[in-house]
Amino acid sequence: MNSTEGKGSSEIVNWSLRKKVLFSLLPLIFLAIAVEVVLRVVAFQSRSEHTLAVMEGVETLQHRLALALARRTVSGQDIPPGTFKALFSQEGSGLLQEFQKRYERHFQELVEATERDGVRLVLLYIPTRYPDDGQDIHRQSLSFFSELCGKYRVDFLDASPECLSHPAEVVTLLPFDSHPSRFGNQVVAESVSRFISRYDAHRSRLAFKERPALLGDLPPNVKKISKVKSQLPFRLVTNAQGLRMFSDLEFPKKKQRILLLGDSYTFGEHLHNQDTLSEILNRMIPHKEFVNGGVCGYTISDELSLYEERARYMEPDVAILQVLDNDLYGFFAFKLNQFGREKRVYAPSPLEERFLQSLRKQ
C-alpha cells in the first residue's frame, strides 16, 4: 500500500472516530441545555406570583408595550431637561396645584383606610438635596406636607433639620448618587426612634385568619447582587412575602409592628439590606418590629393600593409614610408609566402636555 492510500485510510478512521465522539456527546449537550432551561424557568418563576412563568413573560411584554405606547402620548419626544425644577417654578404652578390635589385625594383615602383599621399613621418627611434652587423646592414641599398633615390630623415628623445639618456627601451617596448613605439612614433612624416612643401602647384592630401570600410588592425569595449603578452594587434579599427582609413575618406577631411605606429611600437603593432604614431601626429598637414596604419609584397612589391590597394583612400597629420632595413629580404620566404599580398606560393631562410643550420650546 502506497503512502497516499495509507494517508486516506488514516483520515477515514480519524473522521469516523470524531463522529463517534461527537454523537456520543450530543445527548450530554442536549441534557445540559435542557437543565439550563429548566433552572432558568424555576428561577424566573420563583420571583413571580404567577403560576406559570409564561404568564410573567406575557405581563412583562405587555408592560413594555404599554411604555412604548405611553411615550407616544407625550408627543413622541424626550422629557425636557429641568422638568423637575420647572414644576416648582412659576411656570409650573398650575400643574403643581393639579398634582397637589391629586396627592391629597389619595392621602385622604390612606388616612381613612388606616383609621378604619385602627392603624396610627405618621408622615415622615426626608429632604431631597438639589442644586441651585433646591432649598426653595424644599420649602415648598415641607409646607405642603406639613399643612396636609394638619388638615387631616396626621402626626408629622420632619427629619430635615437633622439631615441638613450634615454635608450632602456624608448623608448621601454622592458623587455617584443622591440616595441616603448608611450614615444618612442612621440620622433619619435616630429621628424616628425619638418620635416613635409616643405610640408604645398603641395596637391596631387588625387580625386576619387568612392573608395573601405576598404582603409586599417585591419579587419573593430574591438573593442577588443588584447593580443598578455599577459603582454602587448592593446585596438584595427579600423574604417569601415579597418584602425586603431577611426573614418572614410571623403570625401572631410578638412585637408592636411598624410598617414603613415609601419609595427608594425606604427600600434602600444602593445599600445592603442591613443598612436600610428599617433594619437600622430594628437594631436600634429591638422590642419593636419595623417592616420595609418601600418600592423604588412609588408615590402616594401606589402606596395606598399596596396598603389596601396587601400591606394591611401584615397587621401593622403603626404605618410610617415616607415622603420626598419628588413625590409630586411622580404624578407625571411618564413617571407613572415607568414606576406605577398598576402597570397600565397613563396619558398626560392637557395641562401636563402644555407644560411639557412649553419646556421643549425653550
- How far apart CA 54 and CA 95 sit, in angstroms, is 40
Please count the other Cβ atoms lying within 10 Å of the Cβ belonging to residue 142.
16
Q: Which domain holds residue 138?
A: 103-337
The three grid cell numbers given for residue 13, joined into one nine-digit string? 478512521
- How far apart CA 217 and CA 209 sit, in angstroms, is 21
- Do residue 27 and residue 169 come from a single domain? no
- Do residue 158 and residue 239 come from a single domain? yes
As beta bridge partners, residue 223 has: 237
- Do residue 290 and residue 198 come from a single domain? yes
Residues whose CB is less than 8 angstroms from the CB of residue 298 and which lie 6 or more positions away in sequence, other chains included: 262, 263, 306, 330, 339, 341
- Do residue 24 and residue 141 come from a single domain? no
Total domains in the chain come to 2
Q: Check residue 71 and give its pLDDT.
A: 46
Q: Is residue 57 part of a domain?
A: no
- Do residue 42 and residue 111 come from a single domain? no
CB 179 within 8 A of CB 269: yes
- How far apart CA 35 and CA 31 sit, in angstroms, is 6
Residues whose CB is less than 8 angstroms from the CB of residue 272 and which lie 6 or more positions away in sequence, other chains included: 234, 235
- Do residue 154 and residue 284 come from a single domain? yes
Q: Check residue 73 and give its pLDDT.
A: 43
Please count the other Cβ atoms lying within 10 Å of the Cβ belonging to residue 312.
22
- How far apart CA 300 and CA 324 sit, in angstroms, is 11
Q: Check residue 322 and give its pLDDT.
A: 98
Does the reported pTM lie above 0.85? no
Q: Is residue 55 part of a domain?
A: no
- Do residue 135 and residue 40 come from a single domain? no
Q: Is residue 24 part of a domain?
A: yes
CB 114 within 8 A of CB 300: no
Q: Is residue 54 part of a domain?
A: no
Three-class SS state of 23 = helix
- Do residue 42 and residue 107 come from a single domain? no
Q: Is 39 exposed, middle or buried (0-12, 13-18, 19+ CB in 10 A)?
A: exposed
Residues 132-148 have pLDDT tens digits of: 555 689 899 999 999 99
Q: Which of 332, 325, 257, 322 is nearest to 295 (CA)?
A: 322
- Do residue 159 and residue 19 come from a single domain? no
Q: Is residue 7 part of a domain?
A: no
Q: Which of 144, 129, 158, 150 is nearest to 93 (CA)?
A: 144
Which regions in the chain score pLDDT beneath 70?
1-15, 19, 38-77, 129-135
- Do residue 130 and residue 252 come from a single domain? yes
- Do residue 23 and residue 147 come from a single domain? no
- How far apart CA 92 and CA 300 sit, in angstroms, is 20
Q: Check residue 229 and give its pLDDT.
A: 86
Q: Is residue 120 part of a domain?
A: yes
Residues whose CB is less than 8 angstroms from the CB of residue 186 and which lie 6 or more positions away in sequence, other chains included: 280
Q: Which residue has the cell 404624578?
A: 331
Instruction: Please calculate the CA angle 256-259-260 and round it to the nearest 5 degrees.
Output: 140
CB 290 within 8 A of CB 268: no
Q: Check residue 230 and give its pLDDT.
A: 84
Q: Is residue 89 part of a domain?
A: no
Q: Is residue 76 part of a domain?
A: no
